[in-house]
Amino acid sequence: MKITLTQTDTHLVATPAGPRLDALHALEFKEKLRNTVETLDQDIIIDMSNIEFMDSSGLGVLVAVTKLKPEECDLAFSNLQPLVSRVFQLTHLDRVFEVLPKSATGTAA
């Protein structure tokens, strides 16, 4: 899974290509973000605008990525598509993760 990284003045935006974050793509997603997230010195936003479907493996990798980031850096998710937003709501992860409103990344969605 390709992940585009975009630097802004205040944060790094990671945009996975999608369209699925599932068992087939979750490990690759985690590995590609590992080095980026572990060495961050600023906040990161994961722009989910291209992710149309996510299963429990995708959720698991999002939790894992959250644990990899330095404690002083914030991690948020933006541009959740309807099905992905529903998964966040059903699992109550919308209460655990910071979910930004659409287009809050400072990049075109």
The residue with greater pLDDT, 107 or 41, is: 41
The pLDDT mean for the chain works out to 89
Chain segment 84-94, per-residue pLDDT in tens: 999 999 999 99
For 74-94, letters b (16+ CB in 10 Å) and e give ebbbbbbbeebbebbeeeebb
Q: Where are the domains of the chain?
A: 3-99
β-partners of residue 77 are 46, 99
**Taking the CA of residue 15 as centre, how many other CA atoms within 13 Å lie in the half-sphere pointing to its CB?**
17
1: closest CA among 63, 54, 45? 54
Contact criterion met (CB below 8 Å) for 17 and 1 = yes
Question: What is the rounded distance in angstroms from the CA atom of residue 73 to the CA atom of residue 57?
Answer: 24
For domain 3-99, give the fold: Transcription Regulator spoIIAA (3.30.750)
pLDDT band at 13 (very low <50, low <70, confident <90, very high): very high
Chain segment 26-63, per-residue pLDDT in tens: 999 999 888 888 888 899 999 999 999 999 999 999 99
DSSP summary character for residue 92 = T
Contact criterion met (CB below 8 Å) for 105 and 7 = no
pLDDT of residue 105: 59
